[in-house]
Amino acid sequence: MGGRILIVGKRDGRAGSLSAALLERGYQADLFEDASLALEKLAHGSHSVVVVEGDDRERYATLESYGRAFGSSASLLVMGCAEFELARRAIQCGAVDVLVAEEGMSSCIERIEAWARPGGPKDDPLTLIGGSPAIAQLHEQIARLDGHDDTTITLLGETGTGKSCVARLLHERSRRAREPFVTVDCTTLAHTLVESELFGHEKGAFSGAVQTRRGWVEEAGAGTLFLDEIGELSLDLQTKLLSLLEAKEFSRVGGRKRIPFRARVIAATNRNLAEEVARGRFRRDLYYRLDVFTIELPPLRKRGRDVITLTRHFASRRAEQLGWPGAPEIDEALEAALLAHPFEGNVRELRNMVERAMMLPRPVDLLTLEHFPALTRTTRPSHVARIAPDSVDRGSEPPLRQIREAAEEREVEAITESLTLAGGNVSQAARLLGISRHRLYRRMQKFGLR
């Protein structure tokens, strides 16, 4: 199976049992009781995952050394943190996951395999990296869902905060991990064919239905159906979704056979659904049906120095992709600018910013402000910045109009820059912006861009 796992812990304890189980599955498992020897081995090895038995409070100074030593080249997992404070400390020290030994050795091994295999959680560009209190709380909420694989989950958060990443992580942590993970982008569903796209259709159900087709709901099987941007669904589509969630069965378009719906539903939105309900734009009964367990993802501006950790992570991964000899460092001026930037596009904006900064003719050892021109631009016109809240006449329109105009100017600038970087390729520009091609076309049409 391959993959090298480094384990730190007692040979006659859980660490020893874990090592033996991994060896049986074909992994190369190196077990060390001495933390300093493990650290030395890590510096000269090629381990993809490091597992530390973390019950002992004295281990955390060593964990901090691990975090500094291997950076993003390996994934640090901590096993045995039953107390929340210990788990939070582990995450602050650089751990990307906490293994709860009480859930059984097989559960721990499944999590290790998810982190070890190519395409696993650590390869997602929006993996929840960081040690801020906001991220520690998020990890605690995710851990609470372990073993509750049928619970409907709603993810709230601004665009770019990593909702799809969390949805994937929840799927990988569950017993449904070997089943399909199907994403439905509710913003791109064609209104005239939406029922067919979701539920499939029988041959001859309508003009052009030349063969039977399975829909997204059926494709999800016993896995996870991820409904991204559910707040964009029209009211009639919300009715169909509510019927699916209540009845737990459906029929293909043009068919009579009732098919069981077995998947778990995870919904995500950047809208405030409670406000949408109050305004009559979202069904109240669907809102309550989805509001079983809600996770709110923090915006990057509320995550403190996570922005620096993430910048180093993205720079390291991009350097590896480009074949650079090593990851570049970040100078102090750039670090200060990153911490001051509002990052309205959140982690996705930062990732794209780093990618643009490293579009260079040759490798560099140090990233500076010169590589990040977006950080040196004024974030908003000075006449808007000087408007104090107390000085605004609530009945006066000009200040609000100025703010809207400033926002649109920034949006046009971002679209134009992305199209230039993508050589006019709309699909690539949409990926750089972190939006769908359909949505980019709409914005281009609004602003008269070609």
Confidence (pLDDT) at 390: 44
CA–CA separation, 435 vs 450, rounded Å?
A: 17
pLDDT for 373 beyond 50:
yes
pLDDT in tens, 312-370: 988 988 888 888 988 899 999 999 999 999 998 898 889 889 989 999 889 999 999 99
pLDDT at 276: 93
* pLDDT of res. 133: 86
Q: Please give the pLDDT value at position 385.
A: 38
Backbone angles phi, psi at 28, to 5 degrees: -90, 105
Note the pLDDT tens digit of each residue in 380-429: 433 333 344 444 444 444 455 565 666 677 777 778 777 777 667 777 77
100 beta partners: none
pLDDT recorded at residue 440: 79
Q: In residues, how long is the chain?
A: 450
**406 close to 381: Cβ distance less than 8 angstroms:** yes
Which residues in 186-285 belong to E strands, given as ranges? 224-228, 249-250, 259-260, 264-269
Distance, C-alpha 270 to centroid of its chain: 14
Give me the domains of the chain, ranges plus CATH numbers.
Answer: 4-123 (3.40.50.2300), 153-296 (3.40.50.300), 303-377 (1.10.8.60), 387-450 (1.10.10)
What percent of the chain is predicted at pLDDT more than 90? 23
Helix H or strand E encompassing 200 = none
Query: Residue 185 is inside which H or E element, if any?
Result: strand 181-185
Nearest one of 294, 286, 262 to 152, comparing CA atoms: 294
Say what the pLDDT of residue 396 is: 44
What pLDDT shows up at residue 381?
A: 38
**pLDDT at 403 (0 to 100):** 56
Token pair for 146: 């372990």
Residues 45, 17 contacting (CB under 8 angstroms): no
> CA-CA distance, 182 to 198, in Å (whole number)?
11
Asked if 254 and 204 touch (Cβ cutoff 8 Å), the reply is yes
Res. 107: pLDDT tops 90:
no
Could you tell me which residues come within 8 angstroms of residue 313 by beta carbon, excluding any fewer than 6 positions away? 71, 72, 129
What are the tens digits of pLDDT across the range 248-306?
Answer: 998 888 888 899 999 999 999 999 999 999 999 999 999 999 999 999 999 999 998 88
pLDDT at 430 over 70: yes
- H or E stretch covering 66: helix 60-70
Dihedral sign for Cα atoms in the order 244, 250, 255, 258: negative
pTM: 0.60
pLDDT at 108 over 50: yes
SS percent in the chain: helix, strand, coil, step 5: 50, 15, 40
More confident residue, 172 or 298: 298
List, as one string, the DSSP characters of 335-361: HHHHHH---TTHHHHHHHHHHHHT--S
How far is residue 95's CA from residue 104's CA, in Å, rounded to a whole number?
20
Whole-number mean pLDDT of the chain?
A: 78
Q: What is the pLDDT of residue 186?
A: 83
